[in-house]
Amino acid sequence: MRDVAVVGFTQSPSMRREPDRNEVEILIPVIQALREQTGLSSKDFDFICSGSSDYLAGSSFAFVSGLDAVGAWPPVCESHVEMDGAWALYEAWVKIQMGYADTALVYGFGKPSMGDLPLTMALQLDPYSVMPLWPDAISIAGLQARHCLENGVLSVEDMAAAAVRDRGHAKDNPYAQIAGDFTVEGILAEEYLVNPLRKSDCAPISDGASAIVLAAGDRARELRDRPAWIRGIEHICEPMDLGVRDLGRSRSTEIAAEKAGASSGGFDIAELSAPFTHQEILVEKALGLSGTTTVNPSGGALAGNPMMAVGLSRIGECATRIWDGQAGRAVAHATSGPCLQQNLVCVLEGN
Amino acid sequence: MSEEHDANEPVTLLRTPISLDYDYSAGQSASRFLRAIAKGKLLGQRCPVDGRVYFPSRGACPQHGVTFGDEVIELSDKGTVVTFSIVRVPSENIPLELPYITVNVLLDGADTVLMHVLDAKLEEVHMGMRVQAVWKPEEEWTTSTGNIMYFRPIDEPDAEYDSYKEHI
């Protein structure tokens, strides 16, 4: 295996609604800032991979115009996934492992405020028996939360505590959308949005973008004094049908964690991109995180949730804390699909 | 599905219509372009790396990936035909009488071409032909490229091939 590290990371502030800019205009300054941070130009990237969704943009092949932010002439070696940018990073990592690239630019971007996100998300459900009912994403997550509560997997206090923790951490994150001193009592006094989920149990809807540079071996050491080395990365997908999965645990996160070498623990920090409080707890359990791990020092998805970039940003948030020595070993998580259907685990280390 | 479906027969067809509403934003660059065209102005932007003028601008140079900033360039509504096609097949969205001519016009001062319709005799159209936009009456102008109805030939000598060969 080649040593591959995260050596650059930039992001836009998470915003409920970008009033003027379109998806690509949100992305352009993020890529520009990444060039300035790393000193690399677009021509220095051997491979470019992006994550976005035409369903958010409301038009087919919308992702192609994202290349305006990169500069794609003469032709570049480029790919796209209709997934969170964390999966674009996985593809780039594979490309580097295969020896086809030494450096890669990865980005994710989305503007979900243009549509009705919970309804748009219904399109990822089983198209024959579930999607035609148009169940919105919050209701689907609510069913899972109800299952967890009634089977003693977690409590409403646990759920509220996750939001309190994340949004407290987010006070130090200038890119966060929701930050502040929340309390468990205060959250439990909120009206239900979809029983048993309260507004604070749900990640916000965020417009935004983020970008990462990967580099191999000596190239990484040239670009960073202390690169954030990817020591393991894996993603696992569970069946689409909600009825055949155990919604009270995240098996795919457990398997991905084992394959990525996360089972031995010892993490200083963990960055999770679960968009609901009960899902964040399920992911924490699946990763076997101990009390010595600071979970979501940036605030995680519950503080800012730019669709198609939020998972990639978790890897970036881990990397920045390794670069500056705050963390020695970190684990980042990204998710896709309803009720934690698919999960990616990435282990990063400073040495 | 028919309401008379026999409960004992297998379901072989399922209709699941999909409809999502979007509150679409054209973006800052396209909005600036559209607001200008509502006043009869054609705005482009210059790439700071190689000086090429993009019309319309999408906010960044697709070749170099650099942002254009706020500087805009007002372009003439005259230009040169760099390629053309005579259309003899009807299209749902274009209510024009067949046959008609579509042209790629390189506006004076621009480095990207604009596709439009040319009002000329079929045997007249040729590469290098000088043309000018014919606008709707000013009171009908909106934030739409449809403010230009079509292009028409003008009485100017043909442009030299070298002046537009990179834009074909």
Quick one: tokens of A317? 């948030």
The reported pLDDT for the residue numbered A19 is 87
Residue of A111, A119, A132 lying closest to B20 (CB–CB):
A119
**Chain-wide mean pLDDT for chain B?**
92
- Chain A residues within 8 A of B67 when measuring between CB atoms: 28-29, 32
The reported pLDDT for the residue numbered B3 is 58
Is the pLDDT at B48 greater than 50? The verdict is yes
Amino acid identity of residue B145, one-letter, is T
A137-163 per-position pLDDT tens digit = 999 999 999 999 999 999 999 999 999
Q: From the CA of A241, how many Å to the nearest CA of chain B?
A: 18
Which range of A64-68, B4-8, B81-85 scores highest in mean pLDDT? It is B81-85
Is the pLDDT at B64 greater than 90? The verdict is no
The reported pLDDT for the residue numbered B62 is 87
Residue of A20, A24, A114 lying closest to B31 (CB–CB):
A20
Residue in the structure block whose two tokens are 């979007």: B22
DSSP one-letter string for A272-304: ---SBHHHHHHHHHHHT--TTSEE-TT--TTT-
Quick one: tokens of A123? 């399109």
Distance, in Å, from the CA atom of A174 to the CA atom of A306, rounded to the nearest integer, reads 14
A108-125 per-position pLDDT tens digit = 999 999 999 999 999 999
The reported pLDDT for the residue numbered B17 is 85
> Residues A192, A216: contact at Cβ < 8 Å?
no
A83-106 per-position pLDDT tens digit = 999 999 999 999 999 999 999 999
Quick one: tokens of B15? 């209709």
A278-323 per-position pLDDT tens digit = 999 999 999 999 889 999 999 999 999 999 999 999 999 999 999 9
Which sequence spans correspond to the domains of chain B?
26-75, 77-162
Quick one: tokens of A289? 């995180």
| Inter-chain CB proximity A24 and B67 less than 8 Å | no
Name the band, by pLDDT with cuts 50, 70 and 90, for residue B4: low
Residue of A68, A71, A114 lying closest to B58 (CB–CB):
A68
- Chain A residues within 8 A of B25 when measuring between CB atoms: 18-22, 111, 114
Residue of B14, B16, B59 lying closest to A25 (CB–CB):
B59
Is the pLDDT at A209 greater than 80? The verdict is yes
CATH class name, domain A117-199+231-349: alpha beta
A215-271 per-position pLDDT tens digit = 999 999 999 999 999 999 999 999 988 999 999 999 999 999 999 999 999 999 999
Q: From the CA of B60, how many Å to the nearest CA of chain A?
A: 6
The reported pLDDT for the residue numbered A282 is 98
> Chain A residue with minimal CA distance to B68?
A28
A347, containing H or E segment:
strand A342-349
Residue of B20, B28, B65 lying closest to A115 (CB–CB):
B20
Nearest Cα neighbor of A284 from A242, A328, A254 is A254
Is the pLDDT at B168 greater than 90? The verdict is no
The reported pLDDT for the residue numbered A218 is 97
What ipTM goes with this model? 0.84
The reported pLDDT for the residue numbered B1 is 45
Distance, in Å, from the CA atom of A142 to the CA atom of A202, rounded to the nearest integer, reads 10
Is the pLDDT at B2 greater than 60? The verdict is no
Domain B77-162 sits in CATH at 2.40.50
> Chain A residue with minimal CA distance to B31?
A20
- Give the N- to C-terminal CA distance of chain A in Å, as an integer: 16
Distance, in Å, from the CA atom of B165 to the CA atom of B168, rounded to the nearest integer, reads 6
**Chain-wide mean pLDDT for chain A?**
96
Nearest Cα neighbor of A288 from A315, A256, A317 is A256
Q: Which residue intervals of chain A bear CATH 3.40.47.10?
A: 4-115+207-228, 117-199+231-349
> Chain A residue with minimal CA distance to B59?
A25
Is the pLDDT at A324 greater than 80? The verdict is yes
Global pTM value: 0.93
Is the pLDDT at A107 greater than 60? The verdict is yes
| Inter-chain CB proximity A25 and B28 less than 8 Å | yes
> Chain A residue with minimal CA distance to B21?
A115
Distance, in Å, from the CA atom of A79 to the CA atom of A96, rounded to the nearest integer, reads 14
The reported pLDDT for the residue numbered A73 is 83
CATH class name, domain A4-115+207-228: alpha beta
